[in-house]
């Protein structure tokens, strides 16, 4: 009888644990921020599958990168394809913790406007980024 009660109590505790929803947190470390531009303004985006999302980025050109952080329901996208390259900088698409991050680094001493397009997989969401780089 004692063992049966212990078994029932254990089963109830385990059942209660199963019903809890996982907590979504973005894991980010100090190393993920090294090299960022001092002045960077860009909204966090959550693009819809098969849709195009415009993103406006403004930044200073101090040799650092500016990032677009993309929320995909608590997990990064599998891949990001650079459809249109920027004319005055470089783009690096990668996972940082639970998000996908698109880093743009302007060419040294460049000021003005630039643009690039990224397609995210799976789902085919497209980000059309417009960048304004100041000194």
**Domain chopping of the chain, boundaries:** 23-134
CATH number for 23-134: choose from 2.60.40, 2.40.128, 3.40.50, 3.90.550.
2.60.40
CB 77 within 8 A of CB 100: yes
CA distances 69 to 78, 97, 119, Å, are: 15, 11, 14
Could you count the other beta carbons within 10 Å of the beta carbon of residue 72?
A: 19
The residue among 98 and 107 whose pLDDT is bigger is 107
pLDDT given at position 55: 97
pLDDT in tens, 47-76: 999 999 999 999 999 999 999 999 888 899
> Which residues make Cβ contacts (< 8 Å) with residue 18, sequence separation at least 6?
none
Average of per-residue pLDDT values in the chain: 85
């Amino acid at each position: 009888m004692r063992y049966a009660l212990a078994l029932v109590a254990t089963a109830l505790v385990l059942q209660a644990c199963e019903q809890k929803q996982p907590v979504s947190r973005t894991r980010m470390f100090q190393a993920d921020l090294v090299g960022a531009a001092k002045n960077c303004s860009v909204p966090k985006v959550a693009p819809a599958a098969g849709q195009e999302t415009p993103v406006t980025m403004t930044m200073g050109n101090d040799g650092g990168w500016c990032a677009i952080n993309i929320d995909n329901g608590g997990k990064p996208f599998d891949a990001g394809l650079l459809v249109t390259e920027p004319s005055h900088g470089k783009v690096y698409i990668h996972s940082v913790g639970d998000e996908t991050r698109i880093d743009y680094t302007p060419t040294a001493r460049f000021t003005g406007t630039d643009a690039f397009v990224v397609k995210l997989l799976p789902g085919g969401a497209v980000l059309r980024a417009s960048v304004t780089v100041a000194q």
